[in-house]
Copies of this chain bind each other. A is one copy, B any other.
Amino acid sequence: MTRADYPEPVKALVGELKRLPGVGPRSAERIAIWLLQHPKADPLSLATSLQEAKAAILSCPTCGFFATLEHCGICDDPKREQSVLCVVEQATDVLPLERSGAFRGRYHCLGGKLSPLDRVSPEDLRIPSLLKRIDDSEHELEVILALGSDVEGEATSNYLADLLRGRACSITRIAQGLPAGGGLDHADELTLMRALEGRRAF
C-alpha cells in the first residue's frame, strides 16, 4: 500500500499557489481545495484573468506605471499638471499618493531603490529616462522626491538630488514627521528628530 496523496494536478496547483507572496504551504493547500471543491469557486475565471492581465499589462515606457498596450491612464491624461513630476520607487507607490488626493501632476517610477546589498546600482533604475523627461520638458519642472524614509530610500533621494542639481528643475522632497493620528509616545526618536527639524511656522 502506498500512502495516499492528492493526484498530480492538485499537487501542481498547490505548488504554484505556494509561490505567491504571503501564501504558505497550508494556505496553498486550502486555496487549491477550495478552488476545486467550493460551489462558489471559479478556477477557470481566475485562470482567464491571469492570462488576460499578463497579455494586456505592461510598464508605461514613459512613467513606469501599469499601462495597457494602447494607453497609460496617467501620462495620457491632459488634465494633469505638466509642471510637477513625482519620483517614486515602485509603480505600486502611485496609487497611495493618488488616493491621498494631494497630487495632480505626473509620476516617474524608478523600479527600485539603490541598495548595494541587493546589488541594485543606478544602472538598474529608470534614471536615464528621468533625466530625459526633465531635459525634454517644455515647462520648468518641480521634481518631488517621494521615496521611502529607510536607509536605501534616503540614499536614493540623495543620489538623485546630486544628479538633478544644475538641471532646469527645482527639487523638493516629501516631508518626514509624525504620522497622522499618532501620539508622540508612539513615535520613535528618529521620527521625532525629523519632525522637529521639519517644523514650520504656525
Interface secondary structure of A, over-half rule: helix
Which positions in A face B, CB cutoff 8 Å?
1-10, 12-13, 15-17, 19-23, 27, 30-37, 40-57, 65-68, 71, 73-74, 77, 79-80, 91-92, 94-95, 98-99, 101, 104
Q: With A3-B101, A20-B34, A43-B51 given, name 8 new contacts (CB 8 A).
A: A2-B79, A5-B73, A7-B56, A7-B68, A16-B49, A22-B31, A36-B53, A47-B51
- Given the interface contacts A1-B80, A5-B95, does A21 sit within 8 Å of B10 by beta carbon? no
Which residue in B1, B51, B95 is a CB contact (below 8 Å) of A4?
A: B95
A2 touches B43 (CB 8 A): no
A50 touches B47 (CB 8 A): yes
Bound Cα distance from A13 to B5, whole angstroms: 30
Bound Cα distance from A196 to B6, whole angstroms: 37
Which residue in B9, B44, B66 is a CB contact (below 8 Å) of A56?
A: B9
- Given the interface contacts A37-B91, A92-B33, does A45 sit within 8 Å of B57 by beta carbon? no
- A77 nearest CB across to chain B (Å): 6
* A34 and chain B: residue at smallest CB distance: B21
Complex interface: chain B residues within 8 A of A73 (CB) = 2, 4-5, 7
CB<8 Å pairs between A and B, sample of 9: A7-B68, A9-B57, A10-B53, A12-B52, A16-B42, A21-B30, A35-B54, A36-B66, A43-B50
Bound Cα distance from A178 to B12, whole angstroms: 36
* A73 and chain B: residue at smallest CB distance: B4
Complex interface: chain B residues within 8 A of A40 (CB) = 19
The 10 closest A-B pairs by CB, nearest first: A1-B79, A47-B47, A9-B53, A47-B50, A43-B50, A9-B56, A13-B53, A13-B49, A16-B46, A16-B49
